[in-house]
Amino acid sequence: MQTARKKIIIDTDTASDDAVALVAALRDPTLQVLAITAVAGNVELPLAVKNALLSVERAGTYRPPVYMGAPGPLLCELETADQIRGADGMGDLGTLGEPTLAPTPGHGADALARYAGEGDGEVELLTLGPLTNVALAIRKHPEAMRKLRHITIMGGAHPYHNPHTVCAEFNIMVDPEAAQIVFSFGVPITLVTLEACGGAAELDDAAMERMRGTGEIGRFCVDCNRTLIELARAQGGVPSLGLPDPAALAVLARPELIRESFPAHTRVETQGEFTRGATVFCKPGNLYSPAFGDEPAPENTLVVTGLDVAGFHQYLLDRVAL
């Protein structure tokens, strides 16, 4: 008997690795993507929407609605990542053209809450960008958002690994206030950190060629990451491709791919001069200093730091195979 497809909403700051995750999600027969909501992050909001629409078209399957969300963080200035994704966020290929699809009217945060509220506890959320839309949806429609079954977040990192800033991963760092709202909300979270997506989990030259060899969808998935690949070649001498957003999708769709994880009470640093945006992983149940009150910290996150790399790479190849 065929198991029911997992119903998901995807919130994304669509640039090159988000694009691979969107294509893979739309080509995964175990998932039903109900809606996609765009948020500013890797690129400004209009480009995130355009890249999401292009990715939906390139997936070549069904076409869920794409909504425009927040144009920037709750409180601070937007920081983009065009230096590693290209000015258009998609490797500046100059060959992707314009989408034929248009965004669906309505704010992404309201759409998130509507699909969550209508989902009767069955809908899951996958976030691939800064958490601005999710925080807005929580603040505006808390009861609807409480009906989400689970939230899988690409974000966070161990401070020592020097992610985007001295100790903060990009998605959390762009909007730390939003991230803290999401982590303190109470819907269970799986956090797929940079540690899970780096090292051997990155695609080497041979793995990229295998993906390109599957056909036009595989070529799109690799080539739109051209800026990142060339940056890796310049920095490390060999081309490689880290795919954090597809890793988060793979964890949602195939949790058996998780190899290293730990439970935590996660908080986000919003005040530190050097630590703003850092994810702080505390052992659940530990009593805190009076700064956090005297209640033991509830577990709110499964922090994922390692994947079955071969299984993850095979998952990606299976998604793009024609």
Interface residues toward Ca ion, by CB under 5 A: 13, 18, 128-129, 245
Using CB under 6 A as the binding rule, whether residue 88 contacts ligand RIB is answered as: no
Q: How far is the CB of 38 from ligand RIB (least distance, A)?
A: 12
Give the separation between CA 19 and CA 51, rounded to whole angstroms: 7
Q: How far is the CB of 41 from ligand RIB (least distance, A)?
A: 5
Angle at the Cα of 235 from the Cα atoms of 234 and 240, rounded to 5 degrees: 80
How many C-beta atoms lie closer than 10 Å to residue 259's C-beta? 14
Segment near ligand RIB (CB under 6 A); pick from 10-18, 55-63, 251-259, 300-308: 10-18
Q: Which is nearer to ligand RIB, 54 or 297 (CB)?
A: 54
HSE-up of 157 (CA within 13 Å, CB side)? Answer: 23
Q: How far is the CB of 9 from Ca ion (least distance, A)?
A: 15
User: Which of the 8 DSSP states describes residue 283?
Assistant: -
Q: Which is nearer to ligand RIB, 170 or 315 (CB)?
A: 170
Q: Which of 11, 13, 202, 223 binds ligand RIB (CB under 6 A)?
A: 13
Q: Which is nearer to Ca ion, 68 or 128 (CB)?
A: 128
Return the one option of Ca ion, ligand RIB, none that residue 244 interacts with (CB less than 5 to 8 A, by type): ligand RIB
Return the one option of Ca ion, ligand RIB, none that residue 227 interacts with (CB less than 5 to 8 A, by type): none
Those residues with Cβ within 8 angstroms of residue 229's Cβ, 6 or more apart along the chain or in another chain? 208, 222, 239, 240, 241
Give residues 158-187 in contact with ligand RIB (rule: CB under 6 A).
Answer: 164, 169-171
Would you state the structure tokens that stand for residue 313, as one six-digit string?
């790479």
Give residues 239-268 in contact with ligand RIB (rule: CB under 6 A).
Answer: 244-245
**Is the separation of the CB atoms in 263 and 284 below 8 Å?**
yes
Give residues 19-38 in contact with ligand RIB (rule: CB under 6 A).
Answer: none
Q: How far is the CB of 248 from Ca ion (least distance, A)?
A: 9
Q: Which is nearer to Ca ion, 48 or 123 (CB)?
A: 48
The footprint of ligand RIB on this chain (CB under 6 A) covers a number of residues equal to: 17
φ and ψ at residue 131, rounded to 5 degrees: -95, 25
**Is the separation of the CB atoms in 19 and 224 below 8 Å?**
yes
Torsion of Cα atoms, 123 then 261 then 184 then 44, to 10°: -70
Using CB under 6 A as the binding rule, whether residue 80 contacts ligand RIB is answered as: no
Give the separation between CA 64 and CA 8, rounded to whole angstroms: 11
**Is the separation of the CB atoms in 315 and 250 below 8 Å?**
yes
**Interaction mask 36-55, ligand RIB, x per CB under 6 A:** -----xx-------------
Helices (H), the chain: 16-26, 45-59, 82-85, 108-117, 132-140, 142-145, 170-174, 176-183, 194-197, 205-212, 216-223, 226-236, 244-253, 309-320
Q: Which is nearer to ligand RIB, 136 or 144 (CB)?
A: 136
Q: What residues are paired with 31 via a beta bridge? A: 6
Q: Which is nearer to ligand RIB, 146 or 158 (CB)?
A: 158
Q: Which of 78, 128, 189, 196 binds ligand RIB (CB under 6 A)?
A: 128
By beta carbon distance, the residue nearest ligand RIB is 170
Interaction site with ligand RIB (CB under 6 A): 13, 15, 17-18, 41-42, 81, 128-129, 154, 164, 169-171, 194, 244-245
